[in-house]
Amino acid sequence: MSLPGSTMKIGGYSYHVSDQGDGDKVAMLVHGMPDDGSCWKYQAPALLKAGYRVIVPDTLGYGRTDRPVEVEHYKLEKIIEHMFEIIETLGLRDIHLMGHDWGSAITWPMVLQRSATLGASMARHSKPRSGCTRS
């Protein structure tokens, strides 16, 4: 199901990351539950056509990325660190970020933590992380 990609060692885990296109503009799409990167199969081609380099990871526990069974591996803070490690390993800057479901619960703290790295974001169907607002 995952989008075509390769394996990266991230946070001690094997992460499957799709990295397509070679444009100067960069978009990173983060899926939610119960999907993997293939849920962006219609958006990745549209972004490639618009000249973007498109980064789509399978997050921990999904698709071709490692799927450890222990709960402690899935703390949100760790998953967010993994996303930043992918960005840093690939040498990306000025990223357009998009998240869906739990992916929004990952991308929203990312934009709060490192505004300078992220150009514009989209929170699709934001995961509730507070009582009355959005992720």
**Binding interface with other proteins (CB under 8 A):** 1, 25, 27, 33-36, 38-40, 42-43, 46-47, 50, 52, 61-63, 67-76, 96, 98, 100-102, 105, 108, 111-112, 115, 118-134
Q: Which residues contact 47 (CB under 8 A, 6 or more apart)?
A: 21, 27, 54
84 residue type, one letter:
F
Q: How far is the CB of 1 from other proteins (least distance, A)?
A: 6
Contact 35, 24 (CB under 8 A): no
**Rounded CA separation 105/72 (Å):** 17
The enclosing H or E element of 47 equals helix 43-49
Classified as helix, coil or strand, 43 is helix
